Structure 1
Amino acid sequence: LRFLKKKYTNKKLHDYFDRVSKHVNEHIDNFLGEKAAQQNRPTMINLAGLTKKARSKDPFLIYRINVVVDNSELTRPPIVIETAPSYQNLFGTIEHIFEPGGIWKSDFTQIKGGSILQANGGYLVFNFLDALTDMRVWTGLKRVLKNNQIIIQADQLPFAVATSAIKPEAIEVDLKVLVIGDYYTYQYLYEHDDEFRKIFKIRADFDTEMPNNHTAVKNYAGFISKICRDENLLPLNRAGMAIVVEAGVNLAGRNSYISTRFSDIADIVRESHYWAQQDGGEIITEKHVEQAIKARKERLQMSEEKLQRMILDDILMIETSGKKIGQVNGIAVFDLGDYSFGKPSKITSEVGLGNSGIINVEREAELGGKIYNKGVLIISGYLNGKYAQNTPLTMNASICFEQSYSGVDGDSASAAEIFTLLSSLAKLPLRQDIAVTGSVNQKGELQPIGGVNQKVTGVYQICKARGLTGKQGVMLPHQNVPDLMLDKELIKSVKSGKFHIYAIKSVDEGIELLTGIPAGERGKKGKYPAKTVHGMVQQRLRQFSEKMKNYESGGQST
């Protein structure tokens, strides 16, 4: 002890050495043999059995040092990533030893440190949602970060008797805690927990996509190479690497961006390795990556195949040829979480006399979402701007997604809905071999939509199954053209003229393509040319107005 006192100058250590020296002198019998102990303390002879039991244990146990955390070999602040942030793993615990009779005992050697102590002086990282499964974790974490102290406590032992209760001293801690979670958890705690915003003052957002440029592609290649090295996977050639990058662009949903969902990219590389091994190759090629992507899709597309079969069997009535008044094919996207796909959906409209304006069937049936309902209201604004400058709109019109029995949301069908209304009012048939997607503002301008690749592919698959005629296609907003990332077969069909993609900027462009008749420009007196779509619509609305006046004045309408 004298040597240790000279070596270490810490006052707490000196106090501890003094207590050890005093304790040894007061319990010298623990270090003597049984006979020497009896001679030294004859009054203890009647307790020989107990003394023997005590001496059977390690007499040096009480003087041992329990090193809870040892970061002495680190040359930098510790960085601890806790993958299972339970209360015990984060804050530590005091373990118990079971003894006969159902008694649990413990001592200071059973004190175990947690990740907070391991990260003391450095950084602790864990997933927030994993920690919130036990509310003790969140309460304890706030207490530690507010007070900069941690007290290791023992867990309660149900249905057992504990004969020793240890309460270690509080340990000073100084660390940075980085929690990883989703946006919604952050917002909820920020709004409902005042302490959260005081403790976690720095927020950093991580996007699921990044700009698709040379730097991003280079980083992608580096990430893929690292996965191959770390997991002993076969290397990829340039063509195979390019297909993986293309898959990342597909995940982002836009040609100018690339996905940062690296776990999904890593899975594609792993599955490509499997197919390369099955092929007996020593390198992952373009063929193996495409095979992996195709296999992933086939595992997930059961719902898509069933819907396609229902369309081909005419259970879901979708027409891909001919012309119809007041009817057009819109395109719906089904999102199953890990897989999404598009399919055509029939949209119809009917018009008649009345003053109710547009009746949204989906809304009346309580199947329409807020964004969808807003899109229908925008259509009313478009009609007012086009045809109600001199006379009010006098009509009843209904819009319906046929054979749709679940919720409908989004405004990507508003262009198709306008086309069906104009068709019904002008009594002009619309082409059924062109499916339509696109949002519209009150000025009649097309606005970009999401899921464009799934929508184009879904329509193409139906047309292909029925036989490509060279006239079928998809009409979409011109802003979505840079987002197109279609498979090789579809691109080949477009290039050969078997399938078409029409990019439009306005309702006028779309209605001309669907009817083959000019949309028409309004003249100085507010009238459209008679042999144009808008002219025919305007004339029909005037007829409605005159018939309504006649009806309301006591006459009859036919």
Structure 2
Amino acid sequence: MLLKAPESELLFSLLEQAVKSNLSSSELGYSYFFNENKITLNKAKSKQDNFAVQDSCLAVSAVNSEKLFGCVRQPENGQIKLQAGLVHQVNGGILILGLRSLLNQQELWTKLKQMVIKQQFEWFTSDESHPLPLSIPKMPLDLRVILVGDRLSLAELQDFEPEFYTNSIYTEFENELPIKSTEDIEQWVDYLKFIADRQQLPNIDNSALGKLYKEATRYTGDQYYLPLSVDWVNSILVNATHFGQNNAIDGFAITQAIKQKSWHEAYLQERLHDEIFTNQIMINTKDQVVGQVNGLSVIEYPGYPKAVGEPTRLSCLIHFGDGEFIDIERKTDLAGSIHSKGMMIMQAFIMSEFAINHQIPFSTSLVFEQSYNEIDGDSASLAGLCAIISALSEQAIDQQLAITGSVDQFGHVQSIGGVNEKIEGFFAVCKHQGLTGQQGVIIPASNQRHLSLNDEVIEAIEKEQFSIWTVDHIADALYLLTGVPYKDNSSINLYKLIHARMQSVLIQDKKHDSWLSKWQKYCKK
């Protein structure tokens, strides 16, 4: 069996326990008998025999040749000794192995596979220059193997032995529990209590459940999914035991454990914020600016355990031209393919909206200001499109707001990742520069289910010092940012302003062409 799951020691222990509960006891196995220069194989009579079965299931995340297959030992001037391996100790049962360790030792995997298929264990020497000193009888082997690995390990195995997938059972350990009813939440709570009991931790008090639920949805990034990761559950419960009272894990203990974990991980995040707080990176949260918008990004650093939300300044300039759309990041090879795709979608929307009867008489240049590393992802495409429309219409964008989201070619706003980190990153900047009560973040409506913000942001929202708006279309976002509707036949709107500006430029261009053609005709005379 192939099981897609994390190679966690705790998970292996729980898998072993679960498998054993569904297995009957195995036969006693075998015993090797030494008689002078001859070795014979017999059925084991008790568990004390040298190759008797020790268990119906064993789970090990990392193995080597000796641990898996045993070995032949011959001390100097001493009698040969045979040492049992895992395959002997669990003969007749199930062996659970970590896939990563086997893939790093492909000879072990090849031998194990052949032994399981042939149902026979054959002794071998690890050093081919020194053959076995005696003929050792082969041992019948009745073994089922469960290989546990993550997606990358499974993909590596598929590349190494693609035909193996056709002869094995594939399944996955579900990392998340979908929440569709209160019964699902109760089941998840029972799961937490099971892990706590299994790890001999204090009881979980009811006051802790709300805090655990919130932290769980923050971990999964979705209010309707709760984590089943045994390592995550165990980690948060173990950390909370240091703050528990009356031999119980209560709400206070969970809160303190979360705060302590955040403090441990905060150094890099604080350094990034300091760059903004000291104006090394310029972010405006108070003025009105044409063609400039606060976008939101998430940065992931190698070796750092969490993503960091950081606002970024997008600016757009418009100049007379032939409709060229200049993405400075792409021109300078600082953009990934997904970012480039998002920029092309923005260009397609602009062309379809304003280049129906004639070519757009403007060229645009869009850039992420003070960005010095490669940018990827399309979550800034909504912000970029708003900056372009602001520059074309010459209507200012309120810098008190930040925006995130991707768009399609029709202007519909699509969901993005890291929404909590992005909101909290912008809030930290607004708080440092002074909360005005008008600041906030615009996010896709489809991301509302992913919200699980920290207590500081929630408190500011409750006090109406900070806001979150959800939008389905770029028209909604533009109205929030500029205060001017995008399309509204009853009043001035951005669409009309852009068309009027384009018509003015085209008329001037035609007059210039007319004057030039008259001059050329006169010169010919």
TM-score if structure 1 supplies the norm length?
A: 0.79
Within 5 Å, which residues of 2 pair with 1:462-477? Answer: 462-477=429-444
Amino acid at match of 1:89: K
Instruction: Give the CA deviation at 1:62.
Output: 7.4
Q: Are the aligned partners of 1:142 and 1:195 in contact in 2 as well (CA < 8 Å)? A: no
Q: Are the aligned partners of 1:341 and 1:458 in contact in 2 as well (CA < 8 Å)? A: yes
State the match for 1:532 in structure 2: 493
SS of match in other structure, 2:361: coil
State the match for 1:488 in structure 2: 455
Q: Tell me the distance in 2 between the aligned counterparts of 1:353 and 1:374.
A: 25
Return closer, same or farther for 1:119/1:64 CA change in 2, 3 Å cut-off: closer
Match of residue 99, structure 2, among 112, 122, 128: 128
Match of residue 70, structure 1, among 52, 57, 67: 52
Q: Are the aligned partners of 2:196 and 2:234 in contact in 1 as well (CA < 8 Å)? A: no
Amino acid at match of 1:531: I
246-255 or 61-70, larger mean C-alpha shift: 61-70
207-216 or 89-98, larger mean C-alpha shift: 207-216
Q: Tell me the distance in 2 between the aligned counterparts of 1:259 and 1:312.
A: 35
Instruction: Give the CA deviation at 1:98.
Output: 3.9
State the match for 2:88 in structure 1: 117
Instruction: Give the CA deviation at 1:535.
Output: 0.9
SS of match in other structure, 2:170: coil
Amino acid at match of 1:90: L
Match of residue 86, structure 1, among 39, 64, 73: 64
Q: Tell me the distance in 1 between the aligned counterparts of 2:473 and 2:322.
A: 28
State the match for 2:260 in structure 1: 295
Please give the per-residue CA displacement for 1:286-322, whole angstroms capped at 9, x wherever unaligned. Answer: 1111110111111112111011111111110000001
Q: Tell me the distance in 2 between the aligned counterparts of 1:399 and 1:513.
A: 21
Is residue 231 of structure 1 aligned with residue 208 of structure 2?
Answer: no
State the match for 1:263 in structure 2: 231
Return closer, same or farther for 1:541/1:132 CA change in 2, 3 Å cut-off: same
Amino acid at match of 1:533: L
Return closer, same or farther for 1:530/1:395 CA change in 2, 3 Å cut-off: farther
Please give the per-residue CA displacement for 1:101-158, whole angstroms capped at 9, x wherever unaligned. Answer: xxxx652xx2122222333222111110022222221221232233232212233399
| Aligned alpha-carbon RMSD (Å) | 2.9
Is residue 174 of structure 1 aligned with residue 142 of structure 2?
Answer: yes
Instruction: Give the CA deviation at 1:405.
Output: 0.8
Return closer, same or farther for 1:516/1:71 CA change in 2, 3 Å cut-off: same
Return closer, same or farther for 1:550/1:118 CA change in 2, 3 Å cut-off: farther
State the match for 1:186 in structure 2: 154
Within 5 Å, which residues of 2 pair with 1:247-262? Answer: 247-262=215-230
Once the two structures are aligned, what percentage of the paired residues are identical? 26
Q: Tell me the distance in 2 between the aligned counterparts of 1:555 and 1:136.
A: 81
Q: Are the aligned partners of 1:330 and 1:413 in contact in 2 as well (CA < 8 Å)? A: yes
Q: Tell me the distance in 2 between the aligned counterparts of 1:115 and 1:482.
A: 47
Amino acid at match of 1:284: I
Q: Tell me the distance in 2 between the aligned counterparts of 1:60 and 1:351.
A: 93
Return closer, same or farther for 1:404/1:554 CA change in 2, 3 Å cut-off: farther
SS of match in other structure, 1:97: coil
402-411 or 84-93, larger mean C-alpha shift: 84-93
Instruction: Give the CA deviation at 1:85.
Output: 2.0
State the match for 1:320 in structure 2: 285
SS of match in other structure, 1:204: strand
Q: Tell me the distance in 2 between the aligned counterparts of 1:63 and 1:492.
A: 77
Q: Are the aligned partners of 1:95 and 1:154 in contact in 2 as well (CA < 8 Å)? A: no
Amino acid at match of 2:124: Q
Return closer, same or farther for 1:97/1:292 CA change in 2, 3 Å cut-off: same
State the match for 1:41 in structure 2: none
Match of residue 375, structure 1, among 336, 339, 342: 342
Return closer, same or farther for 1:173/1:157 CA change in 2, 3 Å cut-off: closer
Aligned length: 479
Amino acid at match of 1:292: A
Instruction: Give the CA deviation at 1:387.
Output: 1.0
Q: Tell me the distance in 2 between the aligned counterparts of 1:554 and 1:251.
A: 67
Instruction: Give the CA deviation at 1:60.
Output: 12
SS of match in other structure, 1:449: coil
Instruction: Give the CA deviation at 1:555.
Output: 4.9
Q: Are the aligned partners of 2:383 and 2:405 in contact in 1 as well (CA < 8 Å)? A: yes
Is residue 504 of structure 1 aligned with residue 459 of structure 2?
Answer: no
Q: Tell me the distance in 2 between the aligned counterparts of 1:386 and 1:60.
A: 92
Return closer, same or farther for 1:168/1:353 CA change in 2, 3 Å cut-off: farther
Q: Are the aligned partners of 1:119 and 1:175 in contact in 2 as well (CA < 8 Å)? A: yes
Please give the per-residue CA displacement for 1:24-66, whole angstroms capped at 9, x wherever unaligned. Answer: xxxxxxxxxxxxxxxxxxxxxxxxxxxxxxxxxxx89979989
State the match for 1:307 in structure 2: 272
Amino acid at match of 1:538: H
Q: Are the aligned partners of 2:285 and 2:400 in contact in 1 as well (CA < 8 Å)? A: yes
Q: Are the aligned partners of 2:53 and 2:90 in contact in 1 as well (CA < 8 Å)? A: no
Larger radius of gyration: 1
Amino acid at match of 1:224: L
State the match for 2:119 in structure 1: 148
Q: Tell me the distance in 2 between the aligned counterparts of 1:172 and 1:164.
A: 19
Which stretches of structure 1, 4 residues or more, deviate above 6 A after TM superposition? 59-66, 550-554
State the match for 2:423 in structure 1: 456
Q: Tell me the distance in 2 between the aligned counterparts of 1:549 and 1:192.
A: 67
Structure 2: 5+ residue stretches without partners = 1-29, 518-525
Q: Tell me the distance in 2 between the aligned counterparts of 1:322 and 1:63.
A: 90
Instruction: Give the CA deviation at 1:189.
Output: 2.8
Instruction: Give the CA deviation at 1:371.
Output: 1.0
Within 5 Å, which residues of 2 pair with 1:319-338? Answer: 319-336=284-301, 337-338=304-305
Q: Tell me the distance in 1 between the aligned counterparts of 2:512 and 2:266.
A: 55
